[in-house]
Amino acid sequence: MITKVDNNGPIKKLEPRHEISGPKFSLKMLLCNVEADEKQYILSRNLQLIPKLFRLQLDMDGEELTEQETALYDRQIRVWGADAQRRLSKSHILVSGLKGTMIEFCKNIVLAGVGSVTLNDDRMVTADLLSANFLIPPDESVYGGKSFAELCCDSLKDFNPMVRVSVEKGELSSFNVDFFDKFDAVVISSCSLSTKQSVNEKCRKLLKRVAFYTVDCRDSCGEIFVDLQNYIYSKKKDDEAVECLLEYPSFEEAVSVPWKSLPRRVSKLYLTMRVIEKFEELESRSPGDTSASDLQNVQKLKKQLCDENSLDESQIPDSLLERLLEGRSEFPPVCAVIGGILGQEVIKAISGKGDPLKNFFFFDAMDGKGIIEDISKQKPGA
C-alpha cells in the first residue's frame, strides 16, 4: 500500500493488487501492481518522480555489507536492519559551513557509518569558530595555513576509519549542477538566502533525488529546513510495512508562502528568522554578521514585512529579535540538540526508514521546546 501524505495527513491510498511488503521497495513492483488509474495518478503527479526514484534505487542497491562492516555496525543493524545500514554505507554526503551544529552532525553520521563525507569550508580558524568546535586541535602549530575544512577533516577521520572524509575547496555558490550529482544528501549552513535557494534549485535539477538540508543556529535557537522532493518511505502500521509518499516544496517555495496563509500559531522563530535573513540579504551581510546595534533597522524591516503581509507585529517579539541579532557565539548544548536531530533526519532519508521531518524544525533552549512546522503552499481545492 502506498499512502500519499500532505499537510492534513493521508489523503489518498493506492491499493496494489498484491501487497508490497518487506524492507525493499521496487519501482517495477510499484508500477506493475497498481490499477491503471492509480498508475496514471503516480505518473501525472510529477513527471520527474519516476526517473528520480529509479536512479535512487540503482545508486543505493548493489554491494552487500562487508564482514568488517557487519561486525562494526552490529548494534545499529539490530535497530534499523542490514538493508538500511547498507544504504548508509553506500551514501555520499556534502557538508558545507562547519559551525558547531555541523560538527555535531558530522560526528553523528560518521559514527553511523555513511560511505563518505565531503567537507567544504575555506575559512581560516578564528576565535569565534572555535567556540563550539571540538574537532579543531588546541595546538595552533598544526594549523599551518590549513583551512577550517582541512583541519576538521584530519580529526573527523579518527572517529571511524571506514568512512572516507575529504575536502572540496571553493565557494559553494560557484559549484555547477553536475557537482551535486555525486551526493545523496547536501547539508549546508552559514550561507546567504540566495545561496540556499540556488543550491537547493541545483539539487532539484538532477535526475536522481538529492536530499537537501539547511541549518541555522543563532544564540540559543536553531532551525532546520528539509527538502526531500518526492519521497517514498516505509513505516509500520498494524504490524505491516506501509509505503508512504511525501511531496516537499523547495526552500524558495517554502519561504515565499504569504504570512497571512500560515497557521495562526506558527512558530515565532520561523518569522523572526525570515526577517533577519532578509535583512542580511538586503545589507549584503554574511550570515550571523549582526549585532544589537542593528536592532533599530531590523525593526523597521519587520514593520514593513508585517504591513505587507497583514501580520500583527507582536508575532515577532523585539526581545527575540534582539537575542538572535547579538548572539554570535554558539551554545554547545544547542549545537548537540540540532546536530543530533539533523543527523537523525539524514539517516532516515537515506535508509528510507521512519517518518521524515516536513519541513522545518525549530528549537529554543529558553523553553526547551522543539517544534515541527509544515510550511507549504496550499493546493487548489485543499
Q: What is the mean pLDDT of each run of 10 residues along the chain (382 residues)?
A: 52 36 37 42 42 43 74 86 91 95 95 96 79 77 82 91 95 96 96 96 96 93 96 82 90 94 91 95 89 92 94 93 84 93 95 90 94 84 52
The predicted structure's pLDDT at residue 124:
84
DSSP code per residue over 155-189: HHGGG-TTSEEEE--S-GGG--GGGGGG-SEEEEE
40: helix, coil or strand? helix
Rounded-to-integer distance, Cα 119 and Cα 187, Å: 10
CA 293 to chain centre: 31
> Nearest 10 degrees: CA dihedral of 377, 378, 380, 382?
150
| Cis bond before residue 359 (omega within 30° of 0) | yes
Residue linked to cell 568512512: 163
The predicted structure's pLDDT at residue 96:
97
DSSP 378: P
Rounded-to-integer distance, Cα 10 and Cα 4, Å: 6
The predicted structure's pLDDT at residue 46:
42
Task: Give the number of other Cβ atoms within 10 Å of residue 78's Cβ.
Answer: 10
Q: What predicted TM-score, i.e. pTM, was given to this entire model?
A: 0.82
Rounded-to-integer distance, Cα 149 and Cα 184, Å: 20
The predicted structure's pLDDT at residue 19:
33
